[in-house]
Amino acid sequence: MKHTLADVVEIDLNAELPRPASAELRILYRDEGQSTRRQDTRQGMWIAIAVYLLFSVTDILLVPDVAPYVISARFVIGTIAFILLELQFRWNASADTIDATCATALVIAYAGWLYPSLMTADTPSISYYMVFGAIFMMSVNLFFSFQFRLSLMASAVILLIFFAALLSFPPIDPSYKLAFGTFCVSCFVFTSYVNWKLNRERYKVFLNAIEARLQQKEAAERGDALLRLSNTDPLTGLENRRAIDQRLRDYWNAWQTYGTRFTAILIDVDFFKKYNDCYGHQEGDRCLIQVADVLTESIKPYNGSIGRYGGEEFIVLARVASQDEVAELAESIRCTVEKMGLLHQQRRDGMSIVTVSVGAAFTRSEAGTKLEKIIHEADRALYGAKASGRNCIKLFDPNDPHSSDESENVAALLKIATAQNLVSLVYQPIRNVSSGNVEAVEALMRLTMIDGTSVSPSLFIPIAERTGAILNLGYWAIRTVCSELLIDNHVRVVSVNVSPIQLKTPGFATSVAAILGETGVAGGRLAFEITEGLEMEMNSDILRCISDLKTLGIKIWLDDFGTGFAGLSWLRLIDFDTVKIDRSFLHDSNTPRGKAMLQDIIGLVRNRGHKILVEGVETDEQLALMHEFRIDQVQGFHVGRPAPAEKFRAKPRVDDHASRVRRPA
């Protein structure tokens, strides 16, 4: 089994006699502190040479007769050692080499002092003086930090030199030789032992340092991994919302500080819920991973950042110089996903592959100082892309009324609209073509600003849908219709426009039932108009809600038929009581082609057995055509403009209206 460095450190730390348990550790120990070791030995050597030369004084005092030789030897050896050491230092020799040189120099210095001194005629003096030889042994073992083996070898050689000198020097007394020899051997043993212990301690300190370093490294790596994990989306491996928010802050700060402009692009996978429902969640996950991968590739040339922003929503941030570049990047993102050609056969909008809607915003000088603003703008652009039929890109346009600050005001206004009486309903008659009688009225919502100016439904309804305000407004409309017109039987049926967002809301049918219960109005007096347009995904929640509403007796009408993609499939899925054919078909009917088209649509709806209502009747000719086509009901400025409830509270002058609906002569 191969041990890691941490393992061998652990083994060594627990060993009785620690010694490098692996080659790696040995090399590490050798290399560890190379430069400090070299520096320590160098300085130690300077001191040793200085002391060695200073001993010339004792030479003169103790062995004056041979002092010139001894002192010369001292200077020659000291100088050579100094030069050698300095050269090695300059040549960057290893600490081991420098230590070896130093140890050798010490041995030679010992011999170089001892042997000339022995030539003295003063036997007692030299017998004292020889004691100083112990200093050399102490030096190699204790003064310098040599490795044990080197110290042992050097001190052993010193001991040998000493014995050689002692034995070959007959004038000294044998008992002195015995005592002094014993002293030197003891000195050798003890100082070697201390050296061995010091080396062991040094190695232990090294091991502890390595262990601490490894632990620190491991903790840092664990910290890095944790950080990576907390910043990564586990499914796609992209940065998650938290991380990308931080990046956004960086981009934003760079823009605020250096004026580096950037774009924020939101990307939403079209009809992803349907994809999940149809292919299962595992495939759904795979789809997101594939989209994430191609998006990552497509932004590489722009050096941008990408993250997963929510369920099927991604975000790209990139430094760009112009609006054109933003459009180019957004389009390349859209194209890349389309080119993948990933099958998605359940989307019912004429396409059968996975695509994305893309909304982009670009830093503008007047965009204010709030960081969220750019995301908000990209979000609005994305909403616009979805509203335009998806699989397209939209760049945020501050001049677009749906994007402008005005829409912010409207969104704020909608929150307080019902409480402040800023909303009201007008009713537009729906007439039977043959009798001319008002059979129903359509409730149309009106919004006025606080200063009294009115806001077009085409502006405030999409905002209400986007912000969710449509829910309360919708309940308010149903309640108002019941209390204004239905309780007192002023009209037979009132149709109310209902957004798919309302139908998707859990508990919608129950809340409607509660309103009917409160007001005592029968469900059959209400019709709900559903527009096939935006947010037209017909999911099971909507179908269930519609079926509940039908159980309450409420009629379900299909509004603006022919304007969206889903109309035909909706016709198949839902049993509508009435289908309202969008006014654009009637308005195009002044050409033979347009007329044939209208006829075809009418035929199609009629064959499915729905009652037909044509919207937008504005002229006598159009009304005549309705007679000709045997349409059931009509609506339009020519047969009745939207008017407040009061107009319908008075008994309707059926005759007046009937005369206008009658077939022209």
Q: Which residues bind ligand C2E (CB under 6 A)?
A: 428, 444-445, 457-458, 461, 477, 497-499, 529, 531, 559-560, 583, 616-618, 635-637, 642
| Separation CA 117–CA 165 (nearest Å) | 11
Residues 585 and 599: beta-carbon distance below 8 Å? no
Query: Closest distance between ligand C2E and the C-beta of residue 622, in Å?
Result: 9
Q: What, of Mg ion, ligand C2E, none, does residue 623 touch, CB below 5 to 8 Å by kind?
A: none
User: Side-chain half-sphere of 408: how many Cα atoms within 13 Å?
Assistant: 7
What is each CA distance from 18 to 13, 206, 211, 347, in whole angstroms?
A: 7, 11, 14, 72
CB 470 → ligand C2E: shortest distance, Å? 6
Q: How far is the CB of 662 from ligand C2E (least distance, A)?
A: 18
Q: Give the CA distances from residue 285 to residues 235, 236, 281, 290, in Å, rounded to whole numbers and listed in that order.
A: 7, 8, 6, 9
**One residue of 118, 560, 564, 585 binding Mg ion per CB under 5 A:** 560
The token pair at 529 is 């108009």
Q: Which partner in Mg ion, ligand C2E, none is near 105 (CB below 5 to 8 A by kind)?
A: none
Q: Which amino acid is at 342?
A: L
> Judged by CB, which is closer to Mg ion: 364, or 611?
611
Binder of residue 282, out of ligand C2E, Mg ion, none (CB less than 5 to 8 A by kind)? none
Residues 6 or more apart whose CB falls under 8 angstroms from that of 497 comprise 442, 443, 444, 445, 477, 528, 529, 531, 559
Interface with Mg ion (CB under 5 A), residue from 529, 532, 537, 632? 529
Q: Are strands 356-362 and 262-269 parallel, antiparallel or unpaired?
A: antiparallel
Binds 459: which of ligand C2E, Mg ion, none (CB < 5-8 Å by kind): none
Query: Which residues make Cβ contacts (< 8 Å) with residue 612, sequence separation at least 6?
Result: 578, 579, 581, 602, 605, 606, 631, 632, 633
- Kindly state the smallest distance separating residue 479's Cβ from ligand C2E, in Å: 12
End-to-end CA distance of the chain: 105
Query: Using CB under 5 A, which of 233, 465, 484, 559 touches Mg ion?
Result: 559
Nearer to Mg ion, 239 or 560 (CB): 560
Q: Which is nearer to ligand C2E, 199 or 472 (CB)?
A: 472
Q: Which of Mg ion, ligand C2E, none binds 637 (CB below 5-8 Å, type-dependent)?
A: ligand C2E
Whichever of 270 and 529 has its CB closer to Mg ion, that residue is 529
Strand partners, 308: 314
Which residue, chain included where needed, has tokens 């969206």?
564
**Minimum CB distance to ligand C2E smaller for 267 or for 455:** 455
* Residue 579 beta carbon to Mg ion: minimum distance, rounded to whole angstroms: 11
Closer by beta carbon to ligand C2E, 175 or else 458: 458
Smallest distance from ligand C2E to CB 503, Å: 10
- 268 vs 560, which CB is nearer to ligand C2E? 560
Q: Which does 428 bind (CB under 5 to 8 A by kind): Mg ion, ligand C2E, none?
A: ligand C2E
Contacts with Mg ion in 564-623 (CB under 5 A)? Answer: 615
Q: Which does 355 bind (CB under 5 to 8 A by kind): Mg ion, ligand C2E, none?
A: none
Name the residue nearer to ligand C2E (CB basis): 107 or 461: 461
| Kind plus residue range of the DSSP H or E element containing 607 | helix 592-607
Closer residue to Mg ion (CB): 529 or 632: 529
The CB-of-570 to Mg ion minimum distance in angstroms stands at: 15
Q: Structure tokens of 559?
A: 């509004």
Cβ-based nearer residue to ligand C2E, 181 or 457: 457
| Burial tier of 245 (Cβ tally within 10 Å: 0-12, 13-18, 19+) | middle
Min dist. Cβ of residue 507 to ligand C2E (A): 18
CA distance 399 to 364: 13
Report the nearest approach of Mg ion to the CB of residue 557 (Å): 8
Least distance in angstroms from the C-beta of 505 to Mg ion? 19
The answer to whether the CB of 239 falls within 8 A of the CB of 299 is no
DSSP string, 399-451: TSTTTSHHHHHHHHHHHHTTTTT-EEEEEEEEEETTT--EEEEEEEEEEE-TT
Beta strands 454-455 and 493-498: pairing type?
unpaired
Residue type, 474: G
Q: Which residues bind Mg ion (CB under 5 A)?
A: 497, 529, 559-560, 615
